[in-house]
Amino acid sequence: MQHDVIIAGFGGQGVLLAGQLLAYAGLMENKEVAWFPSYGPEMRGGTANCTVIVSPRKISSPVVEEPSAALVLNLPSMLKFEPIIRPGGFLLINSSLVERQPGRKDIYAYLVPANEIAQNLGHIKVANMVLLGAYLELTGAVSMSSMLKALEKTLPEHRQYLLPVNQKAMEMGAQAVRRVSAIGA
């Protein structure tokens, strides 16, 4: 099954890193992948998003008009990407920053307090990993162990001490979607 997802938020929230890790984990599982970043002229604080495709088959184009999922870390990203998710798809919302309910009823929306979970772990910068863990729990696009291996290989040596908190963030994201029911669909 092909998984195509848009990850979106402000620059500095680790949106592009989350997409790169997902793509790298897909490669480690011998899947076909595409990673297509997009960001405004001001990296930190501006908008950023990326499209990731993980597929067992050849990928004909990195452009996705109707993704099967969107991970949104802020309200502008939700407003932009909620309308294009294919019916029956997933919308994972960072409810710590987005205080708005999704409008569509033909998709599965999950409110995940990613920033709150990250703060409780002592590292606000792992909010992206919280949503990534939630996405993996819902879709199985790649395994959690492949994601952790990808993280271990991409983190520079002086940042390896962050592996446990990133792993915990993904686990907490997975737990968050197991505990709640989806809104819609």
Q: Is residue 42 part of a domain?
A: yes
pLDDT of residue 12: 85
What's the pLDDT tens digit per position in 115-170?
A: 999 999 999 999 999 999 999 999 999 999 999 999 999 888 998 999 999 999 99
Q: Is residue 138 part of a domain?
A: yes
Q: Which of 23, 18, 47 is nearest to 35 (CA)?
A: 23
Q: Is residue 140 part of a domain?
A: yes
Q: Is residue 184 part of a domain?
A: no
Q: How many domains does the chain have?
A: 1
- Kindly report the CATH number assigned to the domain that includes residue 150: 3.40.920.10
Q: Is residue 185 part of a domain?
A: no
Q: Is residue 102 part of a domain?
A: yes
Give dist(CA 162, CA 166) in Å, integer. 6
Beta bridge partners of 55: 32
What's the pLDDT tens digit per position in 60-100?
A: 988 899 999 999 999 999 999 999 999 999 999 999 999 99
pLDDT of residue 115: 97
Full domain range(s) for residue 137: 3-179
pLDDT at 43 over 60: no
